[in-house]
Amino acid sequence: MNTGLYIHLPFCKQKCRYCDFASFAGLEKKIDSYLEALAKEAKQVPTKNFQTLYVGGGTPSLLSADQLATLCRIIVQPFGWISNFSESTLEANPESLTPQKIAVLKECGFNRLSLGLQSFNDTELKTIGRVHNAVTFLKAYQAARQGGFNNINVDLIAGLPGQTLDSFLHSLSQVISLSPEHLSVYGLQVEENTPLFESGF
């Protein structure tokens, strides 16, 4: 059985209104301390025979280029070169993914990016508390392509507040036209204690 390594980075610029994951906004000053703790924990993991790597969150792309390079070193020391994983993915949000960060990730050996678009409709994005808009996503997607990533996943959510079948199909067709290697479509789940739940949606 293949075994995957998951690393969680719980930092966000702004927490989405539907999110009930372990993620926190406004704690960027704690990232360096978190990375130090992560390095200590990585050394204690008993098995090193992982086939895949997934760095999620939160928003891993919120880290600076230097912090991403530190993260890469933390992974390499106990687990070997990132390029040794058959698939190594980092989650990214469009507004925080820059050409410099893309270059660091590519140099470190990451071979897949997962971009959190969620919708091509700017009104829908604003309603759920996303920071980016459609134009920002397109710029990030093209930057990832130009930066050498030929394995990209794009996330969409169905059932957003105010979303119609036509607007969802528009988002879907726009993503398909970009020809990502993978498309993930999630049905919206409204969890208790989230702003979306409290709003009565």
CB half-sphere exposure, 74, CA atoms < 13 A: 21
Gap between the Cα atoms of 92 and 181, Å rounded: 16
* Span 38-92, pLDDT tens digits: 999 998 887 678 999 999 999 999 999 999 999 999 999 888 889 999 999 999 9
For residue 58, say if its preceding peptide bond is cis, omega within 30 degrees of 0: yes
Contact in structure between 163 and 128 (CB atoms under 8 Å): no
**Predicted local confidence at residue 80, as pLDDT:** 84
Contact in structure between 163 and 194 (CB atoms under 8 Å): no
CA nearest 52: which of 108, 109, 106, 3?
Answer: 3
Please determine, for residue 172, whether its predicted confidence score (pLDDT) is greater than 70. yes
Q: How confident is the model at residue 36 (pLDDT cuts 50, 70, 90)?
A: very high
pTM: 0.93
Please determine, for residue 20, whether its predicted confidence score (pLDDT) is greater than 90. no
Q: How confident is the model at residue 195 (pLDDT cuts 50, 70, 90)?
A: confident
State what percent of residues in the chain have pLDDT above 90. Answer: 80
* Span 89-110, pLDDT tens digits: 999 999 999 999 999 999 999 9
What average pLDDT does the structure give for the chain?
94
3-class SS at 136?
helix
Please determine, for residue 6, whether its predicted confidence score (pLDDT) is greater than 80. yes
